[in-house]
Amino acid sequence: MAAALAGCSTSADEPAPPVSGTAESLEAEFTSVVHDVLPSVVEITRDGAVGSGVVFDNHGHIVTNAHVVGTASAFEVRLANSSAVRPAKLVYSHAPEDLAVIRVEDPVGLVPARFGSSRDVQVGNIVLAMGSPLGLESSVTQGIVSALGRAVPEPPDPANGVPGTVLRQTIQTSAPINPGNSGGALVNLHREVVGVPTLAAVNPGTGGAAAGIGFAIPGDIARDIAQQIVENGRVVHSGRAALGISAVTVTNDRGEPVGAAVAAVDPAGPALGAGVQVGDLITRIDDQEIRTAQDVQAEIAAQRPGDVVRLTITRPPTAEPRTMTVTLGELPVPGGGA
C-alpha cells in the first residue's frame, strides 16, 4: 500500500498547483460577466412564493414567467445590490408562452439587461443561470447549451392558476435550474440574456428534477412578448404556428395510444382548407409519429406560422393512410386550437 501511495501528496501544507493561464482567464471572465449582468436580475416575491425576473427597460418593466406571477397582481421586488423592497404591479401575463411583465413603481437604479439573439446560440456555448433559486437571491450556476429547438410540455399549475402549455424552441441547458430560478436570466459570456430559465426536466424514476437538464425560453421570444406587452398592454401577435384543430388521444383495445383524432376544425383555420375533417386520425406529422393529442401540440409548437407540414391521416371507415399538406397559420390571441 505504501508503494502505491508513493508520489501522492497528503500534506495540507503543500501549495495548491498554479492555475493555468487559460483557466485563470476564464475564471476572470465568469466573474466579470456576473458583476455586469447580476444587477439586471431581480428577486420577485408574492404570497410567500419566490421567483426571478429580468429588468427590461428604464421605466420599471421586468419580464418574468407567468407561473411566477400566478394569479397575483401585486409583488415585492428586490434588486441584487439592495435588500430594500420595491412594490410592483402586474402589467400582463401571457400563459401560452409562460411569460409576464410586471412594473416596479420606483424604477430608479434599475439596470436593463441586454438581450442577445437566440439565433446566435450554439450547442456547446457556456451559459450562466442567474436568479433566486430556493429564495437564495443573486445565485449563479454554470453549464453549457445542451440542445436547441426543444418543444417542451409544461404541465398545468392549478395552485397558481396557470394552465399547461407547450414551450416552443426552448434552449436546453446543463446549468442547474431550481425552484426560484424561473423568470431569471440565462446569460452568455457576451453578457447577453439569451434565455429565460423556466423549468427543469422531471426524472420519471424519482419524480424529482433531472440533474443537468433544464429549459429556457429563448431570449428572442421573451423580448418580443415583453415588447408587445409594454407597447400594447397585452400580446397582440402570438408568433405561434396554428393548425386550426382540436384533437383527442385515441387508444386501442389494450389502452395504448395510437393517434390523435380531430375533434373540431376551426372554420377559419388552415386545416379545413387542406381537407382535414372531424374524425380524421392523425398518425404522423412530417416524419414524426403521432400517438397522442399532446404529440400534435408539440409538433406544431416546433413550427412557425407559414411553415408547411405533411399530415398523415386515416379516415373512417377505411384504415388507408392518406397525406395532406397544410400551410400553418398563426395562433390567435388569446387561446386557440393546436
Residues taking part in catalysis: 67, 98, 182
Distance (Å, whole) CA 328 – CA 134? 40
**334: alpha, beta or left? (left if phi > 0; alpha if psi -120 to 50):** beta
Distance (Å, whole) CA 160 – CA 183? 15
- Please state, as a whole number, how many other Cβ atoms lie within 10 Å of the Cβ of residue 18: 8
Per-residue CA distances from 22 to 124, 155, 187, 288 (Å): 18, 42, 21, 44
Say if residues 236 and 199 touch (Cβ distance below 8 Å).
Answer: no
Distance (Å, whole) CA 327 – CA 311? 11
Distance (Å, whole) CA 169 – CA 150? 5
Closest CA to 276 of 292, 262, 295: 262
Distance (Å, whole) CA 95 – CA 246? 18
